[in-house]
Chains A and B, each alone.
Chain A
């Protein structure tokens, strides 16, 4: 099912997107870990003492700030953009442009192509988050040793990775299902944006809290992860979603007619 030469080719042709995403997320986590020392956070807390809402959310601890701002926003946005772009590019865009004919006229099966693509998007996301974890821990230990609970940071990174994998599962499925980039992006990108927006709106107003049930982003429960319990089932659901959607995509691609 896996073709190492094709994997090498995909890694080479998608390197730029991977590099930009990984670099941006690494720089961001590096800045957060180096700037938000206990002294800075006390200063910010004092400065905002009288304001009704703190724009930075819960910044009582470094890990709470990382969970809310970094994994709740930056990692999610960059991960989503990466999943939408690469998910679409791996399959639907190749069919739309016609270069899928080139790939399939080499001796590989459709399953080999899609399964190798699925492994590429999964392992590249894993690589991005592994880098984030290493940079985060490294910078924190260097600037403010002992302030970062490494175990919790690991769970948060893993949780964020699984959330982004679930999203990539959806974009990959859309990419396998449709023969046009526009349709694949409409479904994959559209759902992704909806999940993100629903999560944001749910947090803004009590009357919109029902939206929490409509988005998979809430399955990444950072409060539970920091408290250390009650997050495992949600993460399993995310991992399961990633697997099921990708498998559905691979199956759909095997059965359909290709306009090549």
Chain B
């Protein structure tokens, strides 16, 4: 049984906006990254999971409970952090935490207190006096305090400083070890790259790829940036049978994609030439993402 199961979910807002035929499963103990540019449909998908909107076609379930029919039962097992968190007015952070605990029937405030300390949050201030980062931390406390089985986090690190971002990533790893299922949306590659097992990319409302993060990193090709000492070598290397991505005559360097089988051929070709420096360019999800993104653009031309 998948923890989160989305089947053919469709919501057409017209003008090509909305989500179309989204199907994905998140297993127990899996951290799932949901990646896409702004307006791609990440939040629309998440709204379905929270039961805020009714699907036109398809269905989504969490722990086998229908998201539209039984949001109350789901909420008991769910922690949700919205993209732009808004709390009720005229309350302090402490009051928000207390009210959330009451609504969830939690009597033990230790977990909330621990989370607040961990994120270095002083919740005693009024909500409207809080910075974006503080509200985000408060949102994290409210989403995690009841130790939920399922976590849905919409762009969770917005507003957090780099130190807090790493505290957050640590927290995600811990929750994963506890067997939680986590759906994390983001438009930042670095955010999902290090934490997620699987990554779904969404663009213009459609899933364009589902990859597991490991395979993205272990691509069977490597990219090098090679600087040459003289123009002759710089020019002659381009005659060889390599896939040159970029060539910059003014700095005399090339960027080349080398399949692992070609590696020796490259070394032999470089042996005859005066090389100033050679760097490996790390493949990131970003490249992979851009790759899909541009492919997508071509389809529409």
Tell me the A residues contacting B by CB distance below 8 Å. Answer: 3, 5-6, 9, 13, 16, 94, 97-99, 101-110, 112, 257-260
Asked if B103 and A101 sit within 8 Å, CB to CB, the answer is: no
Chain B contact-residue range equals 20 to 34
B75 — nearest CB in chain A belongs to which residue? A107
A105-B78, A107-B75, A108-B72 are known contacts. Are A257 and B53 too (CB-CB below 8 A)?
yes
Closest CB in chain B relative to A91 CB, distance in Å: 13
Complex CA distance for A162 and B73, rounded to whole angstroms = 37
Complex CA distance for A101 and B100, rounded to whole angstroms = 13
Please, which residues of chain A bring their CB within 8 A of the CB of B142?
102
Please tell me which stretch of B85-93, B191-199, B215-223, B290-298 contacts chain A, meaning at least 4 of its Cβ atoms lie within 8 angstroms of it. Answer: B85-93
A9-B99, A107-B104, A257-B54 are known contacts. Are A98 and B91 too (CB-CB below 8 A)?
no
Asked if A97 and B76 sit within 8 Å, CB to CB, the answer is: no
Complex CA distance for A97 and B36, rounded to whole angstroms = 25
Asked if A99 and B99 sit within 8 Å, CB to CB, the answer is: no
B80 contacts partner chain A, Cβ-Cβ < 8 Å: yes
From DSSP, what is the main secondary structure of chain A's interface residues?
A: helix
B35 contacts partner chain A, Cβ-Cβ < 8 Å: no
B50 contacts partner chain A, Cβ-Cβ < 8 Å: yes
Complex CA distance for A103 and B50, rounded to whole angstroms = 12
B52 — nearest CB in chain A belongs to which residue? A258
Asked if A5 and B88 sit within 8 Å, CB to CB, the answer is: no
Residue of B72, B76, B89 touching A99 (CB-CB under 8 A): B89
Q: Known A-B contacts: A257-B53, A260-B52. Give 15 more (CB < 8 A).
A: A9-B88, A16-B90, A97-B86, A99-B89, A101-B50, A102-B85, A102-B142, A103-B88, A104-B71, A105-B82, A107-B73, A107-B76, A108-B103, A257-B52, A257-B54
Asked if B100 and A106 sit within 8 Å, CB to CB, the answer is: yes
Asked if A98 and B86 sit within 8 Å, CB to CB, the answer is: yes
Closest CB in chain A relative to B250 CB, distance in Å: 50
Closest CB in chain B relative to A116 CB, distance in Å: 11
B84 contacts partner chain A, Cβ-Cβ < 8 Å: yes
Complex CA distance for A102 and B141, rounded to whole angstroms = 13
Most-contacted residue by chain B among A101, A110, A257 (CB, 10 A): A101
Complex CA distance for A106 and B72, rounded to whole angstroms = 8
Q: Can you identify 20 A-B contacts, CB atoms within 8 angstroms?
A: A5-B102, A6-B103, A9-B88, A98-B84, A99-B89, A101-B50, A101-B80, A101-B82, A102-B142, A104-B71, A105-B50, A105-B78, A105-B143, A107-B72, A107-B73, A108-B72, A108-B103, A109-B72, A112-B72, A257-B53
Asked if B90 and A105 sit within 8 Å, CB to CB, the answer is: no
B90 — nearest CB in chain A belongs to which residue? A13
Complex CA distance for A258 and B99, rounded to whole angstroms = 23
Most-contacted residue by chain A among B75, B85, B88 (CB, 10 A): B88
